[in-house]
Every structure is written in structure tokens, then in C-alpha cells.
Structure 1
Amino acid sequence: MSFQPSTVPLGESELSEAIARGEIVAHFQPQVDLRTGDIVAVETLSRWDHPHRGVIGPGEFIPLAERTGLIHRMGAHMIEQGCRVAAGWIGRGRPVEVSINVSATQLSAPLFFADVISSLERTRLPPGLLTLEITESQAITDIRPVRDHLGQLRDRGVGISIDDFGTGYSSIERLLRLGATELKLDRTLIQAHSDSTLALVAAVVSLVHERGIRVVAEGIETADHLEQTRRLGCDRAQGFLFAPPTPSTRLEQVFSANRPADWIAAESL
């Protein structure tokens, strides 16, 4: 889904009221295991279901939320939604992992980590089914306390993912310093046509695999992109080839339409 930016800027009070009214909703995009072809996880993505403008993409309101501090309320709401949906799927006999985006702004607040644990306890979601994706919108200014808090969550079983690797503040050093368990390759790397770029990406994948870190490829839109992820040695893939982000009420259709045989490498059949 593409979003058309509004010509009228969104305001802090408007966003605050939207959070209070529950207009910030979670959509979910599946991740496919490239070995089995099964959907094994979903990423939680925020959308603003605006009563007059329709669905607004995160690019319009997340920067505003970060500037004004509303990201803390919004983030807590998204974590609760993600955990609750994932816990509900356990009850349906389909345990899937859920990834939830968090920003450097959220990580700077000590209460954030307590809120994550509280959400896990309230929803009874096993910590091993939750992954926090650290986005690249801002740099983490004081990495030591963040690393320590993330380590405590990781010790409970929560996964730590570095999102959009290849852009912004991403680096292998940052990946290791934060104790990440997962690396997500940005779509620009997967869709690259340069042999030198692809060779470098393959080397990065091999390096992080040696550290026991899982690799997820984003932006898989075509069969060629899917084949690229296999050549690079990725573990999982995510993109419109499998399914677009969708409301939780339609996840059943997404799971039912999953065709594992279509996503398994021919040599493994």
C-alpha cells in the first residue's frame, strides 16, 4: 500500500487525541522461513486510521510523535496490540513470533523496558515469541544503559533486531554492541544490481551467521528478489510477494493463503 502525503500538516494535539481514541492501529506483515516456506512471524506496523483523511502511513506521524514525545504512549500501545494478537494466535494453535518497532527515543526511557515486561505478563505471551526491532530514525546517544536493558530482555528470551541494515546508523559494530539476535537487511540491499554490493552483503550475512544472528530480508516483491535472498543466505524474507501489511482481523486469510511450496528453494524439495 502506498500513502499519499497530506497537504495539511498534522498537529501534536490531533495526534494525541488520535492515540486516546484508538485511531493508531496495528497492521501485520508476515515473514516467511525460507527453509520451510511457512509464515513464522509477523511485523507490527503502525497506521493512523484517520476519520477524515483515511489511512495515514507512519512516515507522516512517527516523526511528529518522536519530536513531541508522544512516541512513548504510541509505542506502549503498539507493543500491547502486538503481544495481544500474537497471544491470541497461540490460542488458535498457531504460535507465531511478533516483531515490534521501537525507536531510539523509546529506548532512552527506562520505563519502556518495564512496560515491555508488563505487556508480556498481561497478555501471557511467551517472551521467546517477541522481537523488538530497533529502527534507524535516530542514533542512540547513550548506548550503555540501553545495551544493559536490552540484555535483560534478551535473557528473558526476547529477540533484539537491528532494522533497515544498510541505512542510517546501521553497522556491524552497533549490531554486536546491542547484543542483537537478528539483522534485517534493507530493501535497497536486496534489490541491488551491483555485483560488488551483493558480494559485500553476502559477506555480512556470513559474518553474522557465525555469531548466531538470524538474517531477515525486507522488500521482497518479486520472484527475482526471493531468489536473491536465497543466494545471499538469508533465513527469512518479508515483502509484498508474500502479503502486504494487513489488519489483525484479516490475518486468518493471510495464513490460509500461504503456499509454503512456492517459497521453498527447489533444491530442498
Structure 2
Amino acid sequence: MQITEVTDSFNLDSVVPFFQPIMDLENETVWSYECLARLVNLHENTYLPSQFLFLVERQHSVAQLTETIFNRSANYFRDINMAWNINVSLSDMTDSVIQQFFCSQLQDYPNPNRISIEITAHNALTETQSFWSFSKMCASFGVKIIIDHFDLTPESLEKVIELPVSAIKVPSKLFECDEKEHLELVQQLIMSSKINNIILIAEHIEQEATLTKVKNLGLKYAQGFYFSQPKASTQ
């Protein structure tokens, strides 16, 4: 639902990154942080992108939103030895201006190999040429690619596993189905990811029972409200 308190004074200064941890299940420590865009108004109310993105699009500022979240996240983690990632849209992935922006920012950034970029499976598979071009640029700086919104089907599994990515986020619901064919697909995903040195991250973990099932399958990384909701920086 879109926010109702829309004013012409809206600007990207009100959009800040909130951080949600991705957990290392073996060591019970934070492995990385996902940096998520949130709009915080004067009354300290917080809004999701689905509630304010129409404002950004109305001002033709989608690229500027990506730049804002990247810069603020990069500044926060600049002197912190911690991995972090942001999401990019299809328009970001195909925008030469955004690619030039990333290049200019990464050239002087300490340890850019701590950074990952999340791209949806749909965008990676439907805009293959743009994805490979973007991933090649990222690789030149040591920046990793994470696939998100992955829908486990035989076709998508075969295609995604061949992409130059370091990790795949898998919704926890995919581990909760007990149908034989589905379980075989899950096992194939786990085996294929190991062969290709791709990390699997179980996301949307909200209950201990789901976490137990994920651990029993041998997954080492997970994310979700069970561990923590996205939180603003304390700095």
C-alpha cells in the first residue's frame, strides 16, 4: 500500500539503508548484512520500497535511489570488516550511467570484495546479455553477485547454476514441501551448488522448526525475522 502523506518536498535524503544480518549457522555469527532501502519521515515512521517507490519513479530518480543506498551503505561499512550487499533493479543493471557510477566508487573503496550485488533470478535470466556484462564489471573489482527471488524448477535450476554468481538465496518455503519430486530438486540444488562453489542462503526464516529443517539439509547460511528484522544504523 502506498503511503498517503505524499508531499512535493519528498527527496532522497529521507531514504536510508536498514541492515538485516545473514547468519553463519555453523559459527552462530553474522556473515554479512543486506542493506535495504527504507523511507523515514519526519515522524520517524518507516516505509518499505513498495510504499514509496512510486514517488521515486515520479521524480525519475530510480538511478539516484540506487546511488544513495550504495553510498550510504558503503560509507557505513567503509572501516568495518564486514561483508554487505545491496539490491539492484533491471533498470540499474542495464543503465550505463549506473555502471560508471559503480566503477568510480569501487576504484577507491577498501576491500570491494566485501561487497555483493543482489539481482533477481528473473532479471538475470531474461536479460542475459545485460546480466553477463554487469557481472563482468563487478568481477573486475572482486564484487560478488547474489541471485534472489529464485523459484526452484528444473529449468531455472539448470540455468541459474551456470551463472557467474557466488550465492543463491532460496526462500525457506522451498524446504518445507515434502513431495518426492520437490525433495529431489532440493537435493539437486544443494549438490549442484557445492560442485559450482555457490553458497546457498535460506531466507525468510521465521520459525525455529524451519531453521532446524534448513540445518538438517546442510545449509550454512540463513536470513530472516527469526534472527532479526532490518534495523537502522546506530551510528
1:171 aligned counterpart, secondary structure: helix
Distance in 2 of aligned mates of 1:7 and 1:246: 20
1:210-244 deviation per Cα after TM superposition (whole angstroms, max 9, x unaligned): 11111111111122121122123323111112111
Count of residue pairs brought into register by the alignment: 233
1:226/1:79 CA distance change after superposition, 3 Å: same
What letter is aligned with 1:102? V
CA shift, 1:135, in A, is: 3.0
2:118 corresponds in structure 1 to 133
What letter is aligned with 2:49? P
Q: Alpha carbon RMSD of aligned pairs, Å?
A: 2.9
1:258 corresponds in structure 2 to none
What letter is aligned with 2:186? V
What letter is aligned with 1:183? I
TM-score calculated relative to the size of structure 1: 0.75
Determine if the alignment matches structure 1 residue 8 to structure 2 residue 1.
Answer: no
CA shift, 1:175, in A, is: 2.5
1:223/1:84 CA distance change after superposition, 3 Å: same
Query: Which deviates more, 106-115 or 64-73?
Result: 64-73
CA shift, 1:102, in A, is: 0.7
Alignment check: 8 A CA contact 2:161 2:192 kept: no
1:242 aligned counterpart, secondary structure: coil
Which of 107, 110, 135 matches 2:93? 107
Determine if the alignment matches structure 1 residue 30 to structure 2 residue 21.
Answer: yes
Distance in 2 of aligned mates of 1:65 and 1:187: 31
Larger helix proportion of the pair? 1
Alignment check: 8 A CA contact 1:29 1:245 kept: yes
1:248 corresponds in structure 2 to 233
Alignment check: 8 A CA contact 2:121 2:160 kept: no
1:6/1:106 CA distance change after superposition, 3 Å: closer
Q: Show structure 2 runs of 5+ residues with no match.
A: none
2:11 aligned counterpart, secondary structure: helix
Query: Which deviates more, 56-65 or 229-238?
Result: 56-65
Which of 170, 178, 188 matches 1:203? 188
Alignment check: 8 A CA contact 1:132 1:161 kept: yes
Alignment check: 8 A CA contact 1:183 1:216 kept: yes
1:245/1:193 CA distance change after superposition, 3 Å: same
Q: Show structure 1 runs of 5+ residues with no match.
A: 90-94, 251-269
Alignment check: 8 A CA contact 2:146 2:168 kept: yes
Identity %: 25
Determine if the alignment matches structure 1 residue 158 to structure 2 residue 154.
Answer: no
1:125/1:135 CA distance change after superposition, 3 Å: farther
Distance in 2 of aligned mates of 1:67 and 1:175: 33
CA shift, 1:176, in A, is: 4.4
Alignment check: 8 A CA contact 1:29 1:42 kept: yes
